[in-house]
Amino acid sequence: MAEHSTHDEGANAHEAAAETPRHDGFAGGLARKFVDSPLTPLLLIASFIIGLMGMVITPREEDPQISVPMVDIFVGYPGASAEQVKNLVSEPLERLMSEISGVKHVYSMSQDGRSMVTVRFDVGQQMEPSLVKLYDKLYSHMDAIPKGVMEPLVKPKGIDDVPVVTLTLSSKADDIVTLRKLAMDVQQKIKSLPNTGQSFIAGGSPEQVRVEVDPGRLTAYNVTLSQVARAISSANQRTQAGELVDGNKAFTVYSGEFLHDARQVGDLLVTVSDGRPVMLRDLATITQGERETKSIVNHAQRVEAGRFTSHPAVTIAVVRVVNAIGSPPRDRSGAPCTDAVFQLYPIERGRDSFTTTRTAALRRLVARDDCTGSIGHEKTPG
């Protein structure tokens, strides 16, 4: 009897809960109406059609021409501290540049002896009119430059200065000096292609002759550093000495020659001591090779067992010409720069992408679409 009563009470409670009105709120009520409404499929179809029309009608461009002018102004102030540069150069120049119409941001960086002020214009402002306004404002206030401050150097930057193609050269055998020489050759070839703008090389090292003078040897031979500097500068020059005319032929005569290697530098005569010539190699240690490293580029490749090998590399970055159609540079036949660059060099199959080799006196660039590398990216073998 007690069990039957308990069951009836539970059924009554369930029926009472079912009869209680539900409060879903505004969002819940709106969702319930859309779920039960026959117009919901029609609205979905209309939204899809509107989106499709918007995708078709909206203009699209593979490489949109976006103008975001930005200008870096470099000002030198030799001998001044960073605080002096900030107070006398950076802040006055910031206030002056902020007066130009169309300028969005102006910020600066002050260091000992120099300042860099960056002026960024609004999106949509054209580079040429913006530069005209900046130069007009800058050079109309040249009389306000403090004494000792050097003339400003203006370098414009824009979205078109971003490289659209990068080419990385690496080698297991050649050093970074040789790689940079090869990169300069490739860079010169790329510059001959249409629609290619400025280009630059990252990594590598220019070759230089380093002269490390020993103070003890200078004292022993009674030679000063100025004598060593004069000996090097006077020998490392080539000047026109005159002309000779012989019948219907004219000849130009040059005197002197530029220094080419460490041996020629070491053979320079600095002075004469006790009737004996003193060469530069007697006063200093002379080496020929890499310059002080400013940027490092390495090419890492995965080998067996999950290990990686790393080799020195250099990267050539190419910027397209402003308002050129199409992002990658192309040759005269319309082929992409990928193929145009490699056609300028004999192509040889190889396992390593962008590996430089030498056969006789010919430099070859190992890269092709059906090999292991292509310009701007690399493919993994296998």
Q: Quick one: pLDDT at residue 49?
A: 94
**DSSP 8-state secondary structure symbol assigned to residue 292:** P
- At the topology level of CATH, where does 208-290 sit? 3.30.2090
Is the per-residue pLDDT at 158 higher than 60?
yes
Q: Quick one: pLDDT at residue 371?
A: 30
The pLDDT of 171-199, averaged and rounded, is 82
Integer-rounded Cα Rg, in Å, for the chain is 36
Ranges of beta strands (E only) in the chain are 70-76, 103-111, 114-121, 153-157, 165-170, 196-203, 207-213, 239-246, 249-255, 269-273, 276-279, 284-290, 298-302, 308-320, 355-359, 362-366, 373-374, 377-378
Residue 196 bridge partners (DSSP): 320
Domain boundaries, the chain: 70-160, 162-206+293-378, 208-290
Query: Each residue of 191-210: pLDDT tens digit?
Result: 888 777 788 888 887 888 88
Amino acid at 32: R
The pLDDT of 123-148, averaged and rounded, is 89
User: Which superfamily does 70-160 belong to?
Assistant: Multidrug efflux transporter AcrB pore domain (3.30.70.1430)
Is the per-residue pLDDT at 154 higher than 90?
yes
pLDDT band at 92 (very low <50, low <70, confident <90, very high): very high
Query: Each residue of 274-319: pLDDT tens digit?
Result: 888 989 888 998 888 877 767 778 777 787 777 888 888 888 888 8
**% of the chain residues with pLDDT over 90:** 19
Q: What would the DSSP string read from start to end of 102-116? A: TEEEEEEEEETTEEE
Question: Six-digit token pair at 105?
Answer: 């941001």
Question: Six-digit token pair at 252?
Answer: 């130009």
pLDDT band at 10 (very low <50, low <70, confident <90, very high): low
Does the predicted TM-score (pTM) go above 0.95? no
